[in-house]
Amino acid sequence: MSRQRVVSLVPSITEALASVRPEALVGATDWCTHPGDLESYGVARVRGTKNPDLAAIRALSPDLVIANREENRELDVRRLRDAGVRVHVTVIETVPQAISCFDELFDDVLDWPRPPWLEEARSLWLGPLPPVRRRVAIPIWRDPWMVVGSRTFTGDLARRLGLENVFGSHPDRYPHVSLDDIDARGADVVLLPDEPYEFTAADGVFATPTELVSGRLLTWYGPSLVEAHASLARTTG
């Protein structure tokens, strides 16, 4: 049965669903910023990814809530399920997993048509890995400093652009590090995204050269994948 009332707790997935049936989205988080006209479809805001308003979600009477293991809390998922709400939890740590996730969502979970961008993203991203062009470090937060480590979507996306994450073998997915740790890794460049932490040129405090990049293109895994392939390959080349 096609799902007609959906709440998305994941910004990337919200953008993906809105590309097919925005009128079916009845709820989204405050961090779901794309597309920018969600309110025009009557989409209600249900707070953040880590502190969703569960009462507000239940009041929307959704057929389905979509969450993500990394972005959302297991406790919130359990409480929604205990209240009788159907919740589908995605797990995305690589670009191929993202593509497979949307295949499953559109084909099996939602019974919606696949959007054209999904096939384009598949053709752009799922080929052989290119040679390494540059070694990079990718901070995601400061005070304390945190970087992209192992088993992350962002690290896999970077590698598929020919960028080797110098913290890619770290045992933690998002390790806490120092400025000295980052400089000591021998990266060619430190990539500073504008989300989740909004890095600016003033944060270029490393001995290693820095480049500002789009956080959405580096960390989101919906329709932005098509733009990310061309834009990031150009700006990080």
d(CA 202, CA 88): 40
CB-based burial of residue 83 (10 Å sphere; 0-12 exposed, 13-18 middle, 19+ buried)? exposed
6-124 and 134-235, same CATH topology = yes
Instruction: Classify each residue of 212-227 as buried b or exposed e, where b means 16 or more C-beta atoms within 10 Å of its C-beta.
Output: ebbbbbbbbbbbbbbe
Domain boundaries, the chain: 6-124, 134-235
Q: Which amino acid is at 235?
A: T
Q: Give domain 134-235's CATH number out of 3.40.50.1980, 3.40.50.300, 3.30.479.30, 3.40.50.2300.
A: 3.40.50.1980
Beta strands 25-28; 44-45: pairing state: parallel
Taking the model in full, what pTM does it have? 0.93
Query: Phi and psi of 6, rounded to 5°?
Result: -125, 135
Which DSSP string corresponds to 109-138?
IS--PPPHHHHHHHHHHSSPPPPP-EEEE-
Share of the chain above pLDDT 70, in %: 98
Answer CATH for 6-124 from 3.30.70.1450, 3.30.1330.10, 3.40.50.360, 3.40.50.1980: 3.40.50.1980
Q: What pLDDT, on a 0 to 100 scale, did the predictor assign at position 234?
A: 78
Vertex 225, ends 172 and 88: CA angle to 5°?
65
DSSP bridge pairs for 139: 147
8 Å CB contact between 153 and 221? yes
Strand order in the sheet with 134-137: 163-165, 134-137, 189-193, 210-213
- pLDDT value at residue 131: 95
- 78-129: pLDDT as tens digits: 999 999 999 999 999 999 999 999 999 999 999 999 999 999 999 999 999 9
Residue ranges of the chain with per-residue pLDDT less than 70: 1-3, 236-237
